Amino acid sequence: MNRKLISMLLAFTLVTALLAPCGTQAIAEGETYTYHGTYSSVSTWSPTDWEISSEYDMLGYTVTPFYGFWMNETRDGYDIVPELAAEFPVDVTAAYAGNEVYGVPADATEGYAWQVKMRENATWEDGTPITARDVEYTLQQFLSPDMKNYRASLFYQGGTALANAESYYNSDKAGEPALYLATSLGDKAMTDFTAGADGQYADADGNPVFFAWGVPLEYLGGYTLRDYWSAMDLDTFYAVDGLMDADGMVPMTEDTVEGVYSLTGGDYFGNEPREALINYVYCYGTMEPTSWEQVGFVQDDEYTFTLVLKNPSTLFDFEMNVDNLLLVKEDLYEANKTEAGGIIKSAYGTGVDRFSSYGPYKLTGYQESKQIVFARNESWFGYADERYEGMYQTTGVELSQIDEHTTQLTMFLQGNLDAVGLAADDMEKYGTSDYVYYTPTSNTYYLALNTDFDILKSRETEGVNKTILTYIDFRKAMSLSFDRTDYVMSCTACSDPAFGLLNDVYVCDPVSGLAYRDSEYAQRTLCEVYGVDSVDDLTGYNRDEATRLLQSAYDQCLTDGNISDTDIVEIEYHVYSTDSANQKMVDYIEDAMLAAAEGTSLEGRIRFRLVEDQDYYTTMQNGQDDMINGAWGGAEMDPYSMMICWTDPSYIMEYGFDPYQSLTISVQGTDVTMSYYDWYNELYNGAYAIAELDVRNEILAGMEKGLLLNYHMIPIFSSCGAALASHRIVYGSEDYINSIVGRGGIQFMTYTMDDAQWAAYCAAQNNQLSY
């Protein structure tokens, strides 16, 4: 499962939630309240084909989610409210348990099938009623095998994957000979294949057979055989890996059979028998066609439908994920279809007359690369619903494409924009303004280190040492050599110091809103890692201990013959650009290390070299640098999923860190030992996936503690955005609440002046406003 995609989908869900209808303001006749903002380039805002954030931002104004996440009455959290849905979803798994068409397990009791009843007064902007037929048609377009729409994976992967959706999406290949997983083609066995004259195994018809070496397999929980490289003899791994083609396939030969079996038949795979190799084999076959009737959608009546999922879902996850189901209007979508190169595409969502709204606003103007205009959608049901009373004072939205930040800021100060993001150079002037708003993000930035001895040794030159990075005392000294708070004040625009891999925005309990960092186990982990009694005492800085550790690392490195008494320790710090901001960051770290080294054998012998590298993540994953500034973020409501970033070989940036090494965690008083990689799988997809919150937090904190104490990754800061809001804007909450509702979104935004009053106010200031 692609966690980066999940992160992106979650972000999209949150955007639509922020813009969900939550009420209407009584507006006097003649008054207008137009919000003026900016956007970046868009090419389509079709629900089936949007790609970039600015495109799904547009959709947020024009759709109504099935379930809205509204800021609550006390404005410190959120409530879930049916919107396009008439009521909360009903778990009807029992009615589908044992269903052979959808593949629901016979013993399933919950999570697989969810029934949604729609409100009966929702319409498109032209007044056409919205029914369950619109839902079915939309899903058919998302998954159309003839269209191959960009967002199809929303409904064959992840939390809203429908039963049989992926095979339906690929049904254009039905009847054609092609490579398929052997176990999907019936009763296949390794004995069905024999070696040909060229050494490659083939089936009875002479068709070649392959191992799925670099192909994600459901049998492996979505991972590839190649991901388990560190559980193999490296020579064997490289021999097999060198045969992989562009599709991730490796020819099955006697040598590759033995190579793959050395992995699967080993301890890490539980000593699978040789015949179990069939689970990793691709061979030629013919796919059976999958009809739409086999896909997990059931129209129960005109306004009720059921989604039957490939994998079970909790109620909360279903309510959030089903909001990815953004509808398309059938007549417009069909009218804009064309065929080219064997693929059918629709121009829906590329112009005012090629799109229809069913949300609080409708699109009324679009000039490519210039302006997008929205007006109130008077056909939207929310304006006549008393539940929404007092919200949505905004009567229109005008977004301009302005790429230059200086131009944006100038227009804002003239009163022509209602908000503007701030750059680092703006902070000295506006950082303490009464109109500045700081918004934390989920991204935690950290030093990712290369700790592979052989690779580092091969990159050393005369008089230059790198292998000291493999000594944990040296890496720990680096972590303790600087005060995070002082670092962010000196080197970043508006960030917070980071001590853990996950920052304060991650919510572990979506019902109560409890932040993971506020949980007992998360706080205990940071206290134990940094040696303090309370998280209030955290600085990450202990110069005396850093000095002791530097001497200890040097002494051991010298004893081992890996450094001379004159070698300089040089650490290559690869960055996207060697600009002044990155230079300031590396200078700060170098100065801190040199200060800690005073009085030790390493005094004056540590230096950092900034290297411009626009593909520095890949460089680190290949072991060809010493350190980068890594960052991960996303999935703010699911911190457990984030462990994939530091334990899955396909994500790990820290070259030399072995995710298959053992980690012991005390789980409710019982010590349990497994690899980091297995801990992630059991926490996210396995035995602990539906465990009690206390248990999951204890495991997550135990994993985080183990990772931090390896010092392959050293957290530094969490990013934060800053923006100015105009004099007339009043947000629903002055404080940022969480990633679900932010400060309330446009539905809670109000104005101190209408458009005419604002224009007069700006004119009185000579269109030179002060902030």
**pLDDT at residue 145 in the model:** 95
Distance, in Å, from the CA atom of 743 to the CA atom of 734, rounded to the nearest integer, reads 7
Looking only at the bridges linking them, the beta strands covering 464-465 and 662-667 are: unpaired
**pLDDT at residue 723 in the model:** 94
- Could you write out the three-class secondary structure of 695-764? HHHHHHHHHHHHHHHHCCEEEEEEEEEEEEECCCEECCCCCCCCCCCCCCHHHHCEECCCHHHHHHHHHH
- CA separation, residue 555 to residues 450, 548, 601 (Å): 21, 11, 8
Distance, in Å, from the CA atom of 264 to the CA atom of 261, rounded to the nearest integer, reads 5
Q: Looking up tokens 């994998």, which residue turns up?
A: 311
Better-predicted residue by pLDDT, 738 or 277:
277
Sign of CA dihedral 74, 77, 79, 83: positive
pLDDT digit string, tens, across residues 478-515:
999 999 999 998 888 778 999 999 999 999 998 888 89
**pLDDT at residue 114 in the model:** 98
Where along the chain do its domains lie?
A: 178-285, 440-637+714-718
Distance, in Å, from the CA atom of 475 to the CA atom of 711, rounded to the nearest integer, reads 6
Q: What is the amino acid identity at position 524? A: R
190-199, 216-225, 240-249: range with lowest mean pLDDT: 216-225
Give the pLDDT band (50/70/90) at residue 54.
confident
254-263, 358-367, 612-621, 725-734: range with lowest mean pLDDT: 612-621
Q: What is the amino acid identity at position 184? A: S
- Could you write out the three-class secondary structure of 447-511? EEECCCHHHHHHCCCCCEECHHHHCHHHHHHHHHCCCHHHHHHHHCCCCEECCCCCCCCCEEECC
**pLDDT at residue 738 in the model:** 85
- CA separation, residue 465 to residues 99, 345, 480, 598, 629 (Å): 64, 57, 21, 19, 21
Distance, in Å, from the CA atom of 416 to the CA atom of 406, rounded to the nearest integer, reads 14
> Is the pLDDT assigned to residue 25 strictly greater than 70?
no
Closest C-alpha among 122, 24, 15, 14 to residue 394: 24
State pTM to two decimals.
Answer: 0.73
CATH superfamily of 440-637+714-718: Dipeptide-binding Protein; Domain 3 (3.10.105.10)
Give the pLDDT band (50/70/90) at residue 271.
confident
**pLDDT at residue 268 in the model:** 80
**pLDDT at residue 3 in the model:** 24
Closest C-alpha among 492, 475, 471 to residue 627: 475
